[in-house]
Every structure is written in structure tokens, then in C-alpha cells.
Amino acid sequence: MSAPAVAVPAVRRVPTRLAGLLVLAGVLVAVCAASLAWGARDLAPGTVWDALVAPVAGNNDHAVVRELRVPRTVVGLLAGVALGVAGALMQGLTRNPIADPGLLGVNAGSSLAVVGAISLLGVGSAAGFVWFAFLGAAVAALTVYGVASVGWGSVTPVKLALVGAAFAAVATSAVTLVLLTDEKALAQYRFWQVGSLVNRPWSTIAVLAPFVLAGLLLAAGTGRFLNAVALGDDLAHGLGQNVVLGRLVVLAAVVLLCGAATSLAGPIAFVGLMVPHVARAVVGPDHRWVLPYAALLGPVVLLVADVVGRLVAQPSEIEAGLVVAVLGAPVLIALVRGTKAVGS
């Protein structure tokens, strides 16, 4: 007779998970290095290092690194972290494995605000879109939460999902209506809508980075709450959690993270949906570990997609948002099939 299986205590898994975080951090550093070195013109590691620590005025390679690739990499880091963590928060809060930052209508609200800025106010630059995108994301999330809190019962994950889907449908219809009647708006909006990391000035990055940091600080303390809410609101109350306050904190973090990420890079799909699944496949359902893993996996996925987009279409390039969708769909399907196989 074989010996019965013995469960590994959670304490023993902590060093393994910490080691995994360190490995993932090393992967992120390598991806950042690739983002600085590879593109329409590949640069040697020594050239990249010199450009960062001892730039030479008039050196074209150094200018490419410092003026183009460094801001692009920073945008990928910020947007990737924000989208990965926001996706994990949304899936944990709504107990919905297919939830992503767009579930609250955030992407649709941002898109509607950007289209309105283009069509009504004549805004024509990516730097000009950011505040409208952020405002649209915040208004969308607040509207969805406000409507979901009206009527019978308290705010529940199901009500949030239904109201969010309804808001997204209305906002998307309004965006389509404007674009069908305004060719100028369509020409400008389509470049923002696909999602990209380029042409984001340092002034825009500096303004939006604090919002990402604030969202991450709010998210950092929500792991225990999300673990409790996963058992249901009643059990969460019984475990001493303030469900209403906890839900508001999570929603505030989602608004800050999604608004900043969408403002920086456009409405990039799949990162917020796929990254939490990968994190849970590695560390399990404990959100105290899912959130930090998602914070590292998000920028890895987004920057890898950006680098691939530069390499496969040289000397041109493909926007990161399109590459993420192409690469992300098979990965997500594989994860779903693996989860079904485990559960069957």
C-alpha cells in the first residue's frame, strides 16, 4: 500500500514563492534590457549602457536609447504593472475569472471621453488625450458603482458586472455613432484605440506615474480582504472584514490603475485578463501572492509584446496592443484547458 499524500504546509511554500518573485524580477530586468536594445536598429549592450550612464551629445544611438526607448520602456512598465494588478483586483472582487479592467466600463468610458475630446474640442495629440481618458475611466467606474448601489440589496459582484456591461454597451454605441459621423475623429482615434507605448513624453509619464503608485499602495493591503470575499460576503463579515469599505478601496485602486494605464497606453486588452490567470497557476488563489506576481507579470507581458512588435515588422512595427491580443489568446486558452483538466 502506498503512503498517503501529505499536504505541504503553507509556511514551506513561502520561500518557493519568494524565489519565484526574484526569478520573475530578473526576467523583467532582462525584458527591459531587450526593450532598450532591440528595435528597428539593434544596439549592442555596451552602447545601451553608455547611453544610460555616459551619453555623448550628437551620438544617434545614444539619442535613440534616451529619447525613444527609455520613455517607451517606462510606459510599458507603468501600464503593465497597473493592468496586471487591476485585473487581479477585478477578478478577486467580482469572483469572476473572466473579469478584466474593462468590466466596470473603464475602457469604454475612456474611449468615449477621448472621442468626445477629439470630435468636440479638437484635441489631436496623445499628450492631450491622457486627461480625458483618465476622467472617462473615473466617471465610468463611479457611475457603474453608483447605479449598482441603487435598488434592492447591497452592491454585489453580479450587479457590478451587469451594470458595467450595460454601461460599456451604451458607451461603445455612442463611440461608434460619433466615429461614423466624424471621419477626422476616426482617423485620430484609431491610432490611440489599438494601444501603443510610443510618443508618450516625459511630462505625461511624470504626471500619471503618481496615480499608478497610489493605486498600487491601495492594492497592497487588499490581499487578505479579497481572500475573505472569495468565500462570500457573509463569511467575509464573519471573518471581521468590512465588506463595503474593502470594496470601495479595491474600486478606488482599480480606477487609479486603469485610468492611468489607459491614459498612458490606450485601451490594451488581454493583459488584465490573462496575467491574473498565469499568477494563480503559479502561486494558487491566495491574493497576497497573486497581486505581487501580477505586478511583475504585467510589464513582462506588455514589454515582450512591444519588443516582438518591433522585430516582426522591421523596419516598421506593430503596436503592442495588437501583439498582446495575438499572443495572449492562445495562452489564455491553454490556461483554461489546463484548469478544466485539473478540475475534471
How many Cα neighbours within 13 Å face the side chain of 321?
19
Architecture of domain 53-337: Orthogonal Bundle (1.10)
How many CB atoms within 10 Å of residue 240?
A: 8
Exposure of 14 by Cβ count < 10 A (0-12 exposed, 13-18 middle, 19+ buried)?
A: exposed
Measuring CA to CA, how many Å separate 129 from each of 19, 115, 132, 188? Answer: 40, 9, 5, 11
Report the alpha-carbon distance of residue 101 to residue 240 in Å, rounded: 28
Q: How far is CA 290 from the centre of its chain?
A: 14
Tens digit of each residue's pLDDT, the chain (344 residues)? 444 444 444 555 778 889 999 999 999 999 999 999 998 888 999 999 999 999 999 899 999 999 999 999 999 999 999 999 999 998 998 887 877 777 778 888 988 998 888 888 888 766 677 788 888 888 888 888 888 877 666 667 778 778 888 999 999 999 999 888 888 888 778 777 778 888 888 888 998 899 999 999 999 999 999 999 888 878 888 888 888 899 889 988 988 998 889 888 888 888 998 999 999 989 999 999 999 999 999 999 999 999 999 998 888 888 898 899 888 778 777 766 765 544 44
Q: The pTM is what?
A: 0.88
Q: Give the 3-state secondary structure percentages of the chain, helix then strand then coil, rounded to 5.
A: 80, 0, 20
SS3 153: coil
